[in-house]
Structure 1
Amino acid sequence: MNIEDRYRLWSENPYFDEETRLEVRGITDPQEIEDRFYTDLEFGTGGLRGIIGAGTNRMNKYVIRKVTQGLAECVCDHGPEGMEQGVVIAHDSRRYSPEFALEAALVLAQNGIKVYLFDALRPTPELSFAVRQLKALAGIVITASHNPKTYNGYKVYWEDGGQVPPTKADQILARIEARENWLGIEPMSITEAKQQGLLQIIGEEIDSTYLNRVKSLALHPDLDALKGGKLKIVYTPLHGAGNHLVRRALSELGFSSVSVVREQENPDPDFTTVPYPNPEIPATFELAKQYGRKLNADLLLATDPDSDRLGVALRTHQGDYVQLTGNQIGVVLTYYVLSQKKALGALPDNAAIIKTVASTDLADEVAHYFQARVENVLTGFKFIAEKEKEMEEGGWGTFQFGFEESYGYLAGDFVRDKDAIIASVILAEAALYYQEVEGINFFDVLENIYQKFGYYLDDQESLVLAGKRGKEEMALIMDSFRQEEISQLSGIPVAKIDDYERRVRKDSTTGETYDLQLPRSNVLRYSFVGGGFVMVRPSGTEPKIKFYFSVKADNLTAAKDSLTKVKDEVMNRIAKIRSVIEA
């Protein structure tokens, strides 16, 4: 079908409800018609994500139906046993999330597949846990994570609780693409699904089991119970799914001085108190800082709408609050977990951490200091989960901690995705331990790490390039970088260049090339001599291209100066490339 045929189908065919047909007929801008219908919303390795609205390139119940039908057919390939294992479904607080979750559940039921549907919004990591706990074949979570309010998404998980692996994602995609016709996918009624035993509502029984596992990760539970109330915490769920479980986990461990930001406590699909609900950006902490100053809080915590990412701000010695970067949080938690397990005699000989290639090299140095193995994987937490599974099944490493610079963290073996509830518990305990046992705070811990291993600073820039033209521009930027020989950036020599699209590493000093073992991905990473890097990659979930910067120096001033210069040089290169494209 071409754009005109798709537009006509969606605006006229009675299969689409009246609201959808009216919305489509109301679009008069040819460019918007093209953007909504020139392609299908892309189903990637983890699922799909897009702007809510009518059209094949938007998030709506008909896209949900088509994608779920593709998933259903793959589940049915596993026969009656796989259909009985079933699919677990959760959702966050976004617009249409409950409706999309129910739509997916009833399409699966229509295919004879058992569905476990959460009774209300739940964090994404609990969905991962529930898939494992219930021994389901697959899972779905309706969420757009930290994206703006206009977005929603659909993430697919497989039986190990991790995001669907590439081979299975390809099978699902093949089923989706094989169905040219959008018509004829009808969900079962709720009444019939329940009567046939195909729809089971779940809730507290999963919550309590999950929280017991989360609390088991505490390294100093006696300290938490005895002195947890001394750590004053302000927490905001940013109108999302983390509210009850984060507060309950902390409370049950002994952290009794937790105050919630009331204005951001309840679900709100419009996220009216923040520009957009991403704990990476400073604006999300403005209300929490007001609470912190009033309550003299030690620690501010923020989770995103599906509660898989955690942002942190700390009170300084001067009484103000400074937000930590995702890398700083990851390094401190890596240090805390490894150092405390070693002190307790609980660090195994084959201990390992897993991080992404976009995350700081400082964590590698910390892990090696404690004689722990480091596995670097592609950007995306699903690769961390896949490596953990590989390690577990192969018996060649014992997973201790994993993180990515974009505020995702994980410990334990019962969840296969980043988990802000787990991260909140470990971070609160670490803050309590350093405060009550060592008499220092996280700033002191970071300073000690920097003095020991070097001052690593990092930053990130993004260019939003939306629509068809945006995709073309991103491709041209990546091509331009690949065609240029870059041996240094701002005077810092490049040691090696990793091209994950071509799966080749080039040693800049010798010119030799080596095969990379990680999967193919459109990523370029320039590693500096002595530590640090610059990395370029188009986002897999948003219409933007991302630039990652990490530098190392002997002192903070030199690191800041170096970071500024490297960023300026790279962004100037990008500006020149774009000027040529636009010309």
Structure 2
Amino acid sequence: MASDALLHAKEWSLNDPNPATVAYVKALITKAENGGDQAVQELQCLFPPNNTQRIGFGTAGLRSSMSPGPLGMNDLVVIQTAQGLASYLLHCRQQSKDTNPITAVVGYDHRAHSAFSLSSKQFAMYTKLVFESKGITCTLLDGYVATPILAFAVCNIAASVGIMVTASHNPKQDDGYKVYWKDGCQIRPPVDAEIASAIIEKENLLPWVDYGEQLRTFAKANGGGDCYGLSDPEQTRLIEDAYYQAIRDSGLVVGIDGTSDCQPPSFAYTAMHGVGLPYAKRSFSTFGLPPFLPVPSQQHPDANFTTVPFPNPEEKGALDEAMAFAKEHGCDIVLANDPDADRLGVAEFNKVDGKWTVFTGDQIGSLLGHWLWETIGKNSEQPVAMCASTVSSKIISAMGQTEGFLFEETLTGFKWIGSRALSLQNEGYRVLLGYEEAIGFSCGGIIPDKDGISALGVIATMAHAFYAKGKTLTSHLQEIYLLYGEFCSDNGYFRCDDPAIVKKIMEQMRNGGKYFDRVGTYEVDSVRDLGSPGYDSQAADKKPTLPTSSSSPMITFRFKNGCVAQFRASGTEPKFKYYIELRGQPGENREEVSKRLDTMVKVILEELLHPSENGLITPSSL
């Protein structure tokens, strides 16, 4: 096994264009050959004995730690991936006999690993070199860009494909390679699997040309300037201008009331050490909003994420620094983008009790859905639709039933939300909102993907409207619950490193194909299983309407008391997730519903998951 790892590492070093990672691997090889057990172990981790093992091409692309070898994000892996993608695009054109040129657009964030000389920018430059080696025109956006800008750019310049090099909200050691199809939506089946197959074809695993030498030539010719002259500043400016114009054209910009005697809200904003600040500033300007106060310690791109190890506004404690800054400066609301600015977190300070409300993704989605219906949907000449992932709150569904707009549920992930939104648009609907509980929102149909930039402006405009009436976001949310019912949720996860345990738990819930008609004392109304071949007791043919998957199954229990409990394994992390929501009975207040939910969650988790028996680690909140 050790000799296999050594051989693989030596082959890798011959093709890797990065001197820093080559030197690191060669040093490990020398230590291993001289009997260094620790070096042998590290080589076996970096270069698995099975030469076909490599970083998985999962949710819309790649995501892993920046490190040498086929399991990490590094220059050679990116070159191989770009070559596979370029080959796939050329194959598609050949099969379709399309005579239009293939084009690509690439963006990148600030991720970097200084010791290995790896960075999102370098990965983006190599991607451009790969595409252009095959005659594919590739626009490399200039400077750090937010993911929504890249998604918008795909359609704006009619590109065949878009690549965003980012690890979004992952820890600092990670980077990623996110692929968008020509419709501006993340790739989905069967395209994703076909690209993955193209990447591992032998001719795509070996560099077609010496890209390292090409990059050094560009660097020398351009004096080492930013991106060595490979990026296009003018095209980037035009795309960004068009994006903000699309916001203005969408109907999202409704203005603010400057005549009220009530104190308007003030905002603190954190970019979470990411790229969001200039985009957030321009969003506020586009929406006609007074400037916010940026959190100084987190406003600039910082690859080390100095003040927050998990730069996800959802994570417990992630907003602490921003909230402390906001309180010190008298700000009412904290707005937070994750590092690539596709997600949005919101928190509001209660000046009466001195406490913060950190809104969940479902709560933000509820506020956005109601606001977009009231400001745009009610007077729309087109039929209106909204979408949410199946693990998100059912309150938008209840809203749609009451107000008369279409609501559609999708699989988890914005590739499904975005693709369904595009389909609904083609059917003549005005899709005002797509959202997932993991603080991802698409407002007004600007892009079929998460967009924390436009959502930021919508939330801030909404807050101005409520504060002008002497209300807050929190008090208005309670009014929404009074209109459509109290919806209380408990979303969380158990850490689970063994896929076999996940499979065992799923089989336990299936109960030999009989499922359960009761969990504890709670009667089950229906069950949906999105594993293969799939099952839904509500359907006449017992087949679910949503796609099924043997590799990423999800089971949903709908209870007769209005509770919905859903279970799935994460596709990117060692987590087994649960999403449990209870809709209150008429006349119940939120505390009553929340207490009933707490009691029910304990029973459901114990009876269906058997945590201690299956070795699940203490649950954490999502």
* TM-score after normalising by structure 2: 0.85
- Amino acid corresponding to residue 154 of structure 1 in structure 2: Y
Q: Quote the residue 2:116 is aligned against.
A: none
**2:59, 2:571 within 8 Å by CA — same for their partners in 1?**
no
Partner of 1:137: 160
For the aligned residues, what is the CA RMSD? 2.9
Residues 373 and 503 (structure 1 numbering): CA distance in 2 closer, same or farther, change over 3 Å? farther
CA distance in 2, matches of 1:117, 1:531: 50
- Aligned pair 1:404/2:428, yes or no? no
Q: Is contact 2:141–2:231 with CA below 8 Å preserved after alignment?
A: no
- Partners of 1:328 and 1:569 in 2: how far apart? 25
Q: Is residue 2:478 matched to residue 1:447?
A: yes
| Alignment CA distance shift 1:346-1:186 (3 Å) | farther
Deviation per CA, 1:498-522: give whole Å up to 9, x if none.
11123534438xx976211222231
In the alignment, what sits opposite 2:386?
353
| Distance of 1:35 and 1:482 partners within structure 2 | 37
| Conserved 8 A contact 1:75-1:83 | no
Q: What residue in structure 2 maps to residue 47 of structure 1?
A: 61
- After TM superposition, the structure 1 stretch with the greater mean CA deviation from structure 2, 517-526 or 74-83, is 74-83
Residue 384 (1) aligns with residue 417 (2): yes
Distance 1:41 1:580, change over 3 A: closer
Alpha-carbon distance change, 483 to 58 in structure 1, aligned in 2, over 3 angstroms: farther
In 2: Cα distance, 1:32 partner to 1:76 partner:
36
1:500 alignment partner AA? L
Aligned positions, number = 570
Give the structure 1 partner of residue 105 of structure 2.
Answer: 88
Among candidates 304, 317, 329, match of residue 270 of structure 1: 304
CA deviations over 1:111-170 (Å, ceiling 9, x no partner) = 221111111111111111000000000000111111111211111111110011312222
Unaligned runs of 5+ in 2: 29-37, 113-118, 223-228, 618-622
Name the counterpart of 1:232: 266
Is the 1:409–1:420 contact (alpha carbons within 8 Å) kept by the matching residues of 2? yes
> How far 1:321 moved relative to its partner?
1.8
- Matched with 2:457 is 425
Find the counterpart in structure 1 of residue 555 from structure 2: 524
Contact kept? 2:103, 2:159, Cα under 8 Å = yes
Alpha-carbon distance between aligned partners in 2 of 1:331 and 1:172, rounded to the nearest angstrom:
36
The answer on whether the counterparts of 1:352 and 1:375 sit within 8 Å (CA) in structure 2 is yes
> Identity, % of aligned pairs?
28
* Residues 252/545 of structure 1: CA separation in 2 closer, same or farther (3 Å cut): same
Measure, in 2, the Cα distance between the counterparts of 1:229 and 1:97.
Answer: 43
8 Å CA contact retained: 2:166, 2:176 = yes
Task: Evaluate the alpha carbon distance shift between residue 332 and residue 250 of structure 1 in structure 2; reply closer, same or farther with a 3 A threshold.
Answer: same
Structure 2 counterpart of 1:216: 249
Q: Of the candidates 8, 33, 39, which is equivalent to residue 28 of structure 1?
A: 39
Residue ranges of structure 1 left out of the alignment (5+ in a row): none
Kindly indicate whether residue 489 of structure 2 is the aligned counterpart of residue 458 of structure 1: yes
The more displaced of 248-257 and 365-374 is 248-257
Aligned partner letter, 1:496: S
1:285 aligns with 2:319: yes
Kindly indicate whether the alpha-carbon contact (under 8 Å) linking 2:281 and 2:291 is maintained by their aligned counterparts in 1. Answer: no
Q: Give the Cα separation in 2 of the matches to 1:192 and 1:234.
A: 41
CA distance in 1: counterparts of 2:410 and 2:485, whole angstroms: 23
Greater Cα shift, 404-413 or 218-227: 218-227
Hey, what's the Cα distance between the residues in 1 that align with 2:520 and 2:47? Answer: 42
Matched with 2:9 is: 10
Report the equivalent of 2:518. 488
Q: 1:489 to 1:444 in 2, by over 3 A?
A: farther
- The amino acid that maps onto 2:105 is V
Q: Is the 8 A contact 1:495 1:529 kept in 2?
A: yes
Report the Cα distance in structure 2 between the residues aligned to 1:112 and 1:577, rounded to whole angstroms.
Answer: 57
Q: 1:222 to 1:29 in 2, by over 3 A?
A: same
- Other structure's SS at 2:470 match: coil
Q: What corresponds to 2:35 in structure 1?
A: none
Superposition map of 1:54-453 within 5 A: 54-77=68-91, 78=93, 84-95=101-112, 96-179=119-202, 182-186=205-209, 188=211, 189-190=214-215, 200-201=232-233, 202-217=235-250, 219=252, 221-223=254-256, 230-316=264-350, 317-342=352-377, 346-348=379-381, 350-395=383-428, 397-436=429-468, 438-453=469-484
Amino acid at match of 2:194: Q
> Matched residues in 1 for 2:348 and 2:616: separation?
44
* Aligned-partner Cα distance in 2 for 1:62–1:441: 51
Contact 2:264 2:467 in 1 (8 A): no
Native 8 Å contact 2:253 2:458 kept in 1? no
Comparing 16-25 with 124-133, which one deviates more in the overlay?
16-25
Cα distance, 1:180 vs structure 2: 7.5
565, 571, 575: which one pairs with 2:611? 575
Q: 1:549 aligns with which of 568, 580, 600?
A: 580
The Cα offsets for residues 196-250 of structure 1, whole Å up to 9 and x where unpaired, read as x997454222112111212334556342688899331110010112111111110
Does the 8 A contact of 1:115 with 1:198 survive in 2?
Answer: no
Residue aligning to 1:478: 506
Cα pair 2:107 2:150 within 8 Å, conserved: yes
User: Could you tell me how far 1:82 is from its partner in structure 2?
Assistant: 7.3
Question: Structure 1 residues 442 and 181 mapped into 2: Cα distance closer, same or farther (>3 Å)?
Answer: closer
| Helix, strand or coil at the partner of 1:230 | coil
SS at 2:348 equivalent: strand
1:353, CA displacement in angstroms? 0.4
Matched AA of 1:578: N
The secondary structure found in structure 2 opposite 1:497 is strand
Measure, in 2, the Cα distance between the counterparts of 1:232 and 1:187: 53
Larger CA deviation: 485-494 vs 264-273: 485-494
Instruction: Name the SS for the 1:546 alignment partner.
Output: strand
Instruction: Describe the SS at the equivalent of 1:292.
Output: helix
- CA drift of 1:383 comes to 0.6
C-alpha contact 1:10 1:20 (8 A) present in aligned 2: no
Distance in 2 (alpha carbons) for counterparts of 1:82 and 1:204? 29
Q: How many Å separate the matches in 2 of 1:36 and 1:453?
A: 55
Equivalents in 2 of 1:50, 1:460: separation in Å? 25
**CA distance in 1 between partners of 2:592 and 2:263 (Å):** 40
1:456, 1:532 within 8 Å by CA — same for their partners in 2?
Answer: no
SS at 1:315 equivalent:
strand
**Quick one: distance in 1 between partners of 2:248 and 2:333?**
19
The answer as to 2:501 corresponding to 1:502 is: no
Q: Is this contact kept in 2: 1:536–1:548, CA < 8 A? A: yes
Q: Does the Cα contact within 8 Å between 1:132 and 1:414 map onto a contact in 2?
A: no
Classify the secondary structure of the residue corresponding to 1:121.
Answer: coil
Distance 1:457 1:295, change over 3 A: same
TM-score (norm 1): 0.90
- Deviation of 1:374 (Å): 0.7
One-letter amino acid of the counterpart of residue 46, structure 1: A
